[in-house]
A and B are shown apart, each in its own frame.
Chain A
Amino acid sequence: MMYMLADESRFIDRSQKGDLAAFNALVECYQRQVYNLCLRLLASAEAAEDATQEAFIAAYRRIDSFRGGNFRAWLLRIAANASYDELRRQRRRPAASLDAAMAVQGAAEAPSPAAGPEDEALRLELNVHLQGGLATLPSDQRLAVILRDVQGLSYEELAEVMHCSIGTVKSRIARGRARMREYLVARRELLPRPFRLMDEE
């Protein structure tokens, strides 16, 4: 997924003392995950890039406020906030349409060599629908589903990122998934395997 720093806390320590190189090592380590979170939250490569940069700048400026704990959760929280800011900015000025954004995103995804061209097309289509479904969720449910199901964080980490209880995490995930399910089931005919199979059951 991404390489881990052997001794993360030492880099954090040095960052807090103003060592930009140490901080940039952390950036290199987490930028992919941060960018992907922003991309799923914003559904726009361009906006995700801006939000990611903003998130790292904010992280550096606020690194002193990190007092141990899960650095990834701390960073992802900042990234989520940067994304929400970006979303607000976009809403103020009508940005590129969602479709265009998703096209960009689809193109950005590397085709998996294992699958045939047909499967590949289906997969891309499914991804577009997934992104469309995510866009319909309320922001807290969207964040929960992305962190949990797309990025694979634990419930505990989600609670840290979202500053809420495990119970709240549980319910946000459950509601987000339920909505996603409804969204996909409503587009069953358009979807590849799993949902079609279900239909035939």
Chain B
Amino acid sequence: MLEVLARIRHRRNRRQLSPYLDGMLSVHESRRLQAHLAQCRACRDELAELQATVQSLAELPLVESPRSFALTAAPRRAEAPRPAARRLEFGLRLATATAAFVLAVLAVGDLVGLAGEEKEEGEANVARMEAAPREAATGQETASALQAETPEVTAEDKAATEAPTLLAPATGPVTGSPPAGMGGVEEGAPSGTPVPMPSAPPEVVPGITEPATPAATATPAATAPAPETPPLAQTPVPGETPSPTEAPPAAFGPGGIPEVGAPSATAEAPAATATPPPIGAHVAPGETEQPPSVENQAAAEAQRGTLAADEGGPSRETVLHWLEIGLAAGLALLFVSWVLARRRGQA
């Protein structure tokens, strides 16, 4: 036991021999070391050897400089203080950090569920605001595309006629519209009984919603709004029977007013699957009013429309996941450019 203690003390003292030579120990430490040296031959020897080592090193001669190293021409200055580059690097770093933070928040929110929901709703709302006009476009697009696939499109005549009704539901009951449309159109068409509310959405819905939206649950939503918009709906096109492929024209063809409603409905239908009803309801009113303008914009905004539809429609999770993927990609890009900027700055 005592031996162990002594050995520990010996080791500590041994470590202090070097700073002791330089006078770098505190008074207390020096005294303790001196006491140890007095009774430890090994440490005394080592101290002497260390001293000899240090002394012989100190006696190494300082060699004369073989020549003058003065510079004959001024070398190019290092671009040390390039403020622009530095600012760029700082900006990139900030952006990277921000992106990483947002991604982290999103990911956490995704996991926890809460944060994600809130965010999405916010986004959805924004999307709606922007999307109102576009929706028409999307609707048309989707409608055309879908119709090709859906033979039952014939129902569209009714749909067209009923389109007005749709206006209301279209935007509002995003979630519901697609299923409603499907169910309504398909069933309605054969039967020949024109169901105003359902029919309108159907056109668009079929293509888009068919795969995605299984339940007709949506219908109720659609129906609810329908009452509000009826007036418009009636004007629409009764006579036009668009063949499946022609579906798009059909949408336009019917009453100008109704058309808009129809497309918009369709557009939302696809998107709607996920979106909560309340949101849809909000949107509905605004959209109903916009129909006329929509028609013109349709083509130009087709792309954006689809986007809007995506945001509004797909499930929160999908949106979140795409957001996360996009963010991660952006983050990677940012990080790489930051590293590059930094390396360039240091070089």
Contact = CB atoms under 8 A, between A and B. Distances in A.
B62 A1 contact: yes
Nearest to A170: B19
Nearest to A109: B61
A57 B71 contact: yes
A195 B56 CA distance: 10
A178 interface: yes
B279 to A, nearest CB: 57
28 contacts: A18-B74, A20-B71, A27-B69, A28-B68, A31-B65, A31-B68, A31-B69, A32-B63, A32-B65, A35-B65, A35-B66, A52-B69, A60-B71, A64-B78, A108-B64, A127-B60, A130-B57, A145-B57, A152-B58, A155-B22, A173-B18, A173-B19, A178-B18, A180-B57, A181-B50, A184-B49, A195-B52, A201-B48
B77 A64 contact: yes
Main secondary structure of the interface of B (DSSP, over half): loop
B18 A108 contact: no
B39 interface: no
B70 interface: yes
Given A60-B74, A62-B78, A174-B15, A39 B69 contact: no
Contacts of A1: 62
Contacts of A201: 45, 48
B50 A56 contact: no
A60 B64 CA distance: 22
A173 B55 CA distance: 14
Contacts of A23: 71
B18 A198 contact: no
Contacts of A57: 71, 75
A96 to B, nearest CB: 16
B69 to A, nearest CB: 5
A57 B81 CA distance: 18
Interface of B: 15, 17-19, 22, 24, 45-46, 48-50, 52-71, 73-78, 80-81
Interface residues of A, number: 55
Contacts of B65: 31-32, 35, 52
Interface in A90-125: 105, 108-110, 112, 123
Interface of A: 1, 18, 20, 23-24, 27-28, 31-36, 39-40, 45, 49, 52-53, 56-57, 60-65, 105, 108-110, 112, 123, 126-127, 130, 145, 148-150, 152, 155, 170, 173-174, 177-178, 180-181, 184-185, 194-195, 198, 201
A149 B58 contact: yes
B80 A62 contact: yes
B71 A56 contact: yes
A65 B50 CA distance: 38
Contacts of B49: 181, 184-185, 195, 198
Contacts of A109: 61, 63
A195 B45 CA distance: 11
A24 B18 contact: no
A135 to B, nearest CB: 13
A11 B137 CA distance: 73
Given A36-B63, A105-B63, A173-B18, A27 B71 contact: yes
A63 B74 CA distance: 12
Nearest to B18: A174
